[in-house]
Amino acid sequence: MAIRRAKLVCTLGPACDSAEGLRSLIDAGMDVARLNFSHGTHEEHKARLQRLRDASDDKKKHVAALQDLCGPKIRTGTFPKNFDLPSGIDITLMEGEHSNDERVITIQYEGLAGDVRMHDKILFDDGRLVLEVTGIDGDKVRAHVHQGGGMRNHVGVHLPSKTMRISALTEKDKEDLIFGLSCGMDYVALSFVRRADDLKLVREICQEWGKPTPVIAKIETPDALENLESVVAASDGVMVARGDLGVEFPPERVPVIQRQILGVARRVRRPVIVATEMLQSMTKSTRPTRAEASDVANAVFWGTDAVMLSGETATGDHPQLAAAMMSRIAMESEGSSFYEPPPNVSRASSVPEAVARGAVNTAKEIGAKFLVAFTENGGSAMNVSLARPQVPIIAFSPNKATLRKMALYWGVVPRELPQTSDIEAMVDYCTADLMGMGLASPGERVVLVFGAPIGVSGSTNSIRVHVIA
C-alpha cells in the first residue's frame, strides 16, 4: 500500500458539508479539515465538526480539525448601488458605515485617518482596486485611484499593516476561539500574525480553558516576514497564506517568500502548510491547469508538510475530484527519482530529537520497512517526521486527541493503541496491526522509537530493531 507523506488539508463548506460529502473527501485523501471561521455561525460549525467526527469514525481514519480564526477584516460601508470607480480620479476616504456620494468611500475602521500615511497604498477587493494616499485632512483621507474597478457594499479593504493598531486577535476571534476549544478543535490558526507576542495571547486563552491546543501562525504580512524566525519559533506550525501575501507583495515575490518560509520553518523545526489557489481552476473544472499541478508538485519537492485546498473543496463544483487530484500529484512527486526530502539543517537540541534522528539513520542502514513511534502526546512522531525518513512512520498512541493531531505530521500514519505500560505488549500489538493492514510481512524489519518508562510524555530515549514474526 502506497503511503502519501505530504498531508492534505481540505476546507469544509457547503460543497462538501453532508455526511456523504465528508466521507468522500476522506476517501479522496483528506487528513485535516479546515473550518473557516470567517463564515458561518457557531451552531453551523458545531454541526459540521460533529459530522466530520462521525465520518472519520465511519472511515476509521483519524482526521484533524483546524479552526481558522477570521482575524481583523476591514470592509467598506454601504452605497445606494454598485458603481464603477474609474482609474485616474481623486476621491475621499472616511471612517463610517454609509455613503451617498460615489466620490466618498466609507471604511469601517476606527481611526482610519490616524493610521495611514502619505503615499500609502490602500487596496480593495483582494487588490483589484489600488489607491494611493495623497493627503490627510482631519478625519478625511484624500486618495488617487491608480487602478479602478467595480465598487460594492462591504468590499474587503487592505490597509498597510505596519501602521494598523488593530490586534491580530479580535473580540470575535476570542469568542470563536473559546467556542472552538469547547468543541475540541485539534489546531487553531491565527490570521494577521505580525510578531511572536500575537501567538502568546492565543496560548494564554487555551491554557486558561485547560485546552492546550497547537497554534498555527498564518504568514501573510510584511511584519511577520520581518520577524519570521521568532514568529515561527513561537508557533506550533505555520501556514503560507499566499492569498494575502499576494496582496501585500508583488506576485513575483510570493514564490520566493514561500521558499523563505519553508527554509526558516525547516531550521526552526516546525511543520508548514502551503495554502491558497493551489488547484483554483478546479472550483469549476474537473482537471487542474498544468501550472497548478506544477505548483503543488514544487511545494512537495521543497519539503512542505501539507498542502491545502480552500474554495476548491468548500464551494467548488468538484470537491472530491480536487482532493483526489491533489493527493495524486503529491504521491507522483514523492514517488519520482527527483524527490529528496530536505535533510536536517540544524543540530539536535534535545535527547528526543537526537534519538529520532538516530532511529532514521538506523532504519536507512538496515533497510527497515517502517519506523514505528509509540507516543503519548505526539512528540516522538513529530521528531521522527521532521527528520524526514525515507520510510513511512506508523505512530501508535492510546490518546485520540494525539492521533488526530498527528494527522498533520508529514509521513505519519496514526494508529490507535490500547493503554498499556508493557513494551512487549505494545510490540506484539504493533506487529499484529501492521500485518493485519497488509503493511508488513514476516521477516521484515521495523525500527521502534519509544520512551522508558512507558506512558511518560516527552521521555523518548529508546530505539529498538524488531523483526516481524
d(CA 320, CA 325) in angstroms, rounded, equals 8
- Give me the torsion for CA of 43, 44, 45, 49, rounded to 10°: 100
242 given a catalytic annotation: no
Q: How far apart are CA 402 and CA 241, in angstroms?
A: 26
Question: Among 218, 270, 404, 415, which one carries the catalytic annotation?
Answer: 218
Phi, psi (rounded to 5 degrees) for 189: -105, 130
- Annotated active-site residue in 75, 142, 445, 464: 75
The per-residue DSSP string of 202-249 comes to: HHHHHHHTT----EEEEE-SHHHHHTHHHHHHHSSEEEEEHHHHHHHS
Q: Is 282 left (phi over 0), alpha (psi -120 to 50) or beta?
A: alpha
75 carries an active-site annotation = yes
Q: Residue 92, class by beta-carbon neighbours within 10 Å (0-12 exposed, 13-18 middle, 19+ buried)?
A: middle
Return the C-alpha torsion angle 92, 95, 97, 98, nearest 10.
-20
Residue for cell digits 495571547? 201
- Cα 127 from chain centroid (whole Å): 23
CA–CA distance, 274 with 65 (Å, rounded to integer):
17
**Nearest one of 294, 303, 304 to 239, comparing CA atoms:** 304
Q: Of these residues, 76, 106, 213, 276, which one is catalytic?
A: 276
- Radius of gyration (Cα) for the chain, nearest Å? 24
Q: What region does 157 belong to: left with phi over 0, alpha with psi -120 to 50, or beta?
A: beta
Are the C-beta atoms of residues 352 and 460 closer than 8 Å to each other? yes
Number of H helices, E strands in the chain: 16, 21
Catalytic choice (34, 53, 242, 415): 34
Is 211 annotated in the active site? no
Residues sharing a CB contact under 8 Å with residue 57, sequence separation 6 or more, in sequence order = none
Q: How far apart are CA 383 and CA 449, in angstroms?
A: 10
Is 276 part of the annotated catalytic residue set?
yes
Phi, psi angle pair for 107, to nearest 5° = -125, 130
Q: Which residues are catalytic?
A: 34, 75, 218, 276
